[in-house]
């Protein structure tokens, strides 16, 4: 606490990112980074962009990048927004589409799962947006009917994190329909597709043509192996995109730098490379998920590039410490209902072989 902090800063409880150890030696399975490198074309594009042009500001509209994204998803560039990682895009979306308690007299709370990406409550708090966490079912799945009630908006990550469970497209569509009715009741349905590329037929971005209240949020951090570049984007109808631009231009018009724009364009254009990389991640995830139950672990079925697992007869904290002693970093959320689970990002085949070995030795203890 500092006497110089204002009231807002005093009451914040910021997001705590996963550890990024500076020393090597760890098998790092704690922040859902892709274990494979970005496309060589991305590196080439960034190197080419690292020249005299850096004296100029980047294109604030990110036109080339938005056109590449639009082409890939079958939408118009005006239906695409690019930002400095999807965390920034999410923060802007919360600010643009959800009513704060101090705005309208009585704002309806927004809805998101009780066990989900822990940045959502942080943004809600930052912008004074009332929210109501909706409990997951006992098997950690999202009960879509629970979200069909009057709300200031809904936020659904698909697949959900850290559980990895996914909803079907038709379930999501029924939700968009519920919240898109005209008049006072209409509200935005935000689908965070950070991990959609690791699932089967999950992407809903092309459905923005039928659902004016749908905003999908995407990141190059996971599926495009570019967590270090900080590029995310959103797809939605033009009015929604203009709303995001209004927030951005009230904050910082140049959130995506020139090198990031160049690298991101190359990544979007090299879909075949990433198809190959992510098929490998999916195959490894399925292999590890299938092997763990026989070793004494419960695995929540995942469609992400991570799995959520529990060592039978052990607490999450004990299992976490054991893995750390063995040089394996994973993520532990000290939160009701999932405190005994660990989220394990899918690494390379070799890393996951070592992980399975360590899991086997832990069971024998």
Kindly tell me which residue out of 35, 131, 192, 273 binds ligand PLP, with binding defined by CB under 6 A.
192
* Closer residue to ligand PLP (CB): 38 or 157: 157
Which candidate, 165, 142, 152, 141, places its Cα nearest to that of 289?
A: 165
By CB under 6 A, tell whether 194 contacts ligand PLP: yes
By CB under 6 A, tell whether 219 contacts ligand PLP: yes
Stretch that binds ligand PLP, among 101-109, 218-226, 242-250, 325-333 (CB under 6 A): 218-226
Residues 129-168 that bind ligand PLP (CB under 6 A): 157, 161
By CB under 6 A, tell whether 193 contacts ligand PLP: no
Q: DSSP assignment, residue 52? A: G
What is the smallest separation between the CB atom of 101 and ligand PLP, expressed in angstroms? Answer: 24
CB 30 within 8 A of CB 18: yes
Kindly tell me which residue out of 35, 152, 164, 232 binds ligand PLP, with binding defined by CB under 6 A.
232
User: Backbone dihedral region of 44: left (phi > 0), alpha (psi from -120 to 50 degrees) or beta?
Assistant: alpha
Stretch that binds ligand PLP, among 63-71, 214-222, 259-267, 341-349 (CB under 6 A): 214-222
Burial of residue 115, with CB atoms counted within 10 A of its CB: 0-12 exposed, 13-18 middle, 19 or more buried: buried
Rounded CA separation 122/119 (Å) = 5
* Closer residue to ligand PLP (CB): 282 or 311: 282
CB 117 within 8 A of CB 157: yes
- Cis peptide leading into residue 162 (ω within 30°): yes
Size of the site for ligand PLP (CB under 6 A): 14
* Closer residue to ligand PLP (CB): 108 or 217: 217
Q: DSSP assignment, residue 2? A: -
Residues 59-118 that bind ligand PLP (CB under 6 A): 85-87, 117
Rounded CA separation 198/209 (Å) = 24
Rounded CA separation 111/252 (Å) = 28
Rounded CA separation 35/51 (Å) = 29
Question: Which residues pair with residue 154 across a beta bridge?
Answer: 111, 189
By CB under 6 A, tell whether 190 contacts ligand PLP: no
* Closer residue to ligand PLP (CB): 45 or 194: 194
Give the contact letters, 17-56, x = binds to ligand PLP (CB under 6 A), - = no: ---------------x------------------------
Q: Is 279 helix (H, G, I), strand (E, B) or coil?
A: helix
Stretch that binds ligand PLP, among 36-44, 57-65, 198-206, 215-223 (CB under 6 A): 215-223
What is the smallest separation between the CB atom of 87 and ligand PLP, expressed in angstroms? Answer: 3
Question: Which residues pair with residue 350 across a beta bridge?
Answer: none
CB 223 within 8 A of CB 281: no
What is the smallest separation between the CB atom of 259 and ligand PLP, expressed in angstroms? Answer: 16
Interface residues with ligand PLP (CB under 6 A) are: 32, 85-87, 117, 157, 161, 192, 194, 219, 221-222, 227, 232
């Amino acid at each position: 606490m500092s006497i110089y902090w204002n009231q807002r800063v005093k009451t914040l409880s910021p997001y705590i990112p996963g550890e990024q150890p500076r020393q090597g030696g760890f098998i790092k399975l704690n922040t859902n980074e892709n274990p494979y490198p970005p496309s060589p074309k991305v590196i080439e594009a960034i190197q080419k962009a690292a020249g005299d042009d850096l004296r100029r500001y980047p294109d604030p509209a990110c036109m080339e990048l938005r056109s590449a994204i639009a082409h890939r998803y079958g939408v118009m560039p005006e239906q695409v927004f690019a930002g400095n990682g999807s965390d920034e895009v999410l923060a802007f979306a919360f600010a643009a589409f959800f009513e704060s308690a101090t705005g309208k007299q009585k704002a309806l709370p927004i809805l998101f799962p009780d066990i989900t990406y822990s940045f959502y409550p942080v943004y809600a708090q930052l912008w004074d947006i009332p929210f109501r966490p909706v409990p997951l079912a006992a098997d950690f799945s999202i009960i879509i009917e629970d979200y069909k009630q009057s709300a200031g908006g809904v936020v659904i990550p698909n697949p959900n994190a850290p559980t990895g469970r996914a909803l079907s497209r038709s379930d999501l569509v029924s939700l968009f329909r519920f919240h898109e009715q005209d008049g006072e009741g209409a509200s935005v349905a935000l689908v965070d597709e950070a991990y959609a590329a690791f699932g089967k037929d999950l992407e809903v971005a092309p459905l923005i043509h039928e659902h004016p209240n749908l905003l999908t949020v995407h990141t190059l951090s996971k599926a495009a192996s570019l967590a270090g570049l900080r590029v995310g984007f959103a797809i939605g109808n033009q009015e929604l995109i203009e709303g995001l631009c209004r927030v951005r231009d009230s904050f910082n018009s140049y959130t995506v730098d020139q090198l990031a724009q160049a690298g991101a364009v190359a990544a979007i254009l090299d879909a075949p490379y990433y198809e190959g990389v992510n098929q490998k991640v999916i195959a490894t995830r399925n292999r590890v998920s299938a092997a763990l139950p026989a070793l004494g672990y419960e695995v929540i079925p995942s469609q992400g590039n991570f799995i959520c697992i529990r060592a039978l007869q052990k607490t999450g904290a004990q299992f976490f410490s054991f893995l750390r002693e063995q040089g394996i970093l994973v993520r532990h959320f000290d939160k009701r209902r999932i405190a005994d689970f660990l989220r394990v990002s899918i690494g390379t085949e070799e890393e996951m072989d070592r992980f399975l070995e360590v899991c086997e030795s832990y069971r024998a203890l």
